[in-house]
Amino acid sequence: MYNAHVRAIPILLYCALSAAAADLRVGIIGTDTSHVPAFTRLLNGEASAPEHVAGARVVAAYKGGSKDLEESFKRVDQYAEEIHSKYGVEIVPDIPSLLSKVDAVLLESLDGRVHLEQARPVIRAGKPLFIDKPLAATLEDAREIARLAKESGTAWFSSSSLRFGAIGAGMKFPDTTGAATWGPGPFEPHHYLDLAWYAIHPVEMLYTIMGPGCETVTRISGTDADVVVGRWKDGRIGSVRAVRPYSDYGAVVYRAKEVVESHPKAAAATDYRPLVIEIVKFFATRKPPVANEETLEIFAFLDAAQRSKEQGGRPVALR
């Protein structure tokens, strides 16, 4: 009777019902970044909208927030109310309550200092975990997140949205001999790795283009920008210009027989949809689109850049 009943349902309606039933329940930790309403709109918005990402739905959120970070405490309540009123997301009082209601977690807290402590219960629960930038405030915290996740068998990944955007996805070539990227690099005084706060975006673009394997880093600090130059083990050179306070994003890629520069319009608007598609795939398969080892090397790159700055611009090996 079940099969006969199913056959009686129009095929399109049946597919829609099946897809809705299969949606993963997603929870958000930290409602103090603009990524929260942006990601929720892509997942919970009208299914007929061209930007809609199917397969997951945000059902609960824990506000969190950092009282000593103005960007956090000025927005945490606003974004929580927005996703609750517009998309029906339940606001819960703590992380254990959140974990009882969801299949997977977006750790969105703006403040990288709290990521390790907020990730601990998620990792213990074995929920697949996406950690938004910055992964952590220090290399030690980043490595501890990775250690705990490996120990418990919990799948995780972290990435800038620019890895999957027009520049990152469109400028990877097998014959790349070097690259230069640029983007905004404002500092945030509470984060020891000052480039992790925002310059993680152009750094992630550099790694998207070059791949892992950096050996040493040299950082030159100026009034309006810092330039970080990395030497890869195979002799290639890659550099990042972190502009203060803000700038557009871009890249130049050196190939065997040509030089390719990103189009100015490639980074004219922020498009989170490619990243959210990858996140939903990851939640379903538990296979990260970015190797955890590469993410940790990016943080070792940031750590080496910080130590180079402290040593007056001397070349520093990645730890």
pLDDT tens for each residue of 168-203: 889 999 999 999 999 999 988 888 899 999 999 999
Tell me if 58 sits within 8 A of 87, measured CB to CB.
yes
Decide if domain 162-269+290-317 falls under CATH 3.30.360.10. Answer: yes
CA distance 89 to 75: 17
Could you give the CA distance from residue 174 to residue 285 in angstroms, rounded to a whole number?
A: 27
- Look at 153 and 73; give whichever has higher pLDDT: 153
Phi, psi (degrees; rounded to nearest 5) at 220: -110, 125
The residue ranges of every structural domain in the chain are 2-160, 162-269+290-317
- Position 189 scores a pLDDT of 86
Q: What is the mean pLDDT of the chain?
A: 92
Query: DSSP for 9-51?
Result: S-HHHHHHHHHHHHPEEEEEE---STHHHHHHHHHHS-TTSTT
Q: What is the pTM of this model?
A: 0.90
For domain 2-160, the CATH superfamily is NAD(P)-binding Rossmann-like Domain (3.40.50.720)
Half-sphere exposure of 32 (CA within 13 A, CB side): 20
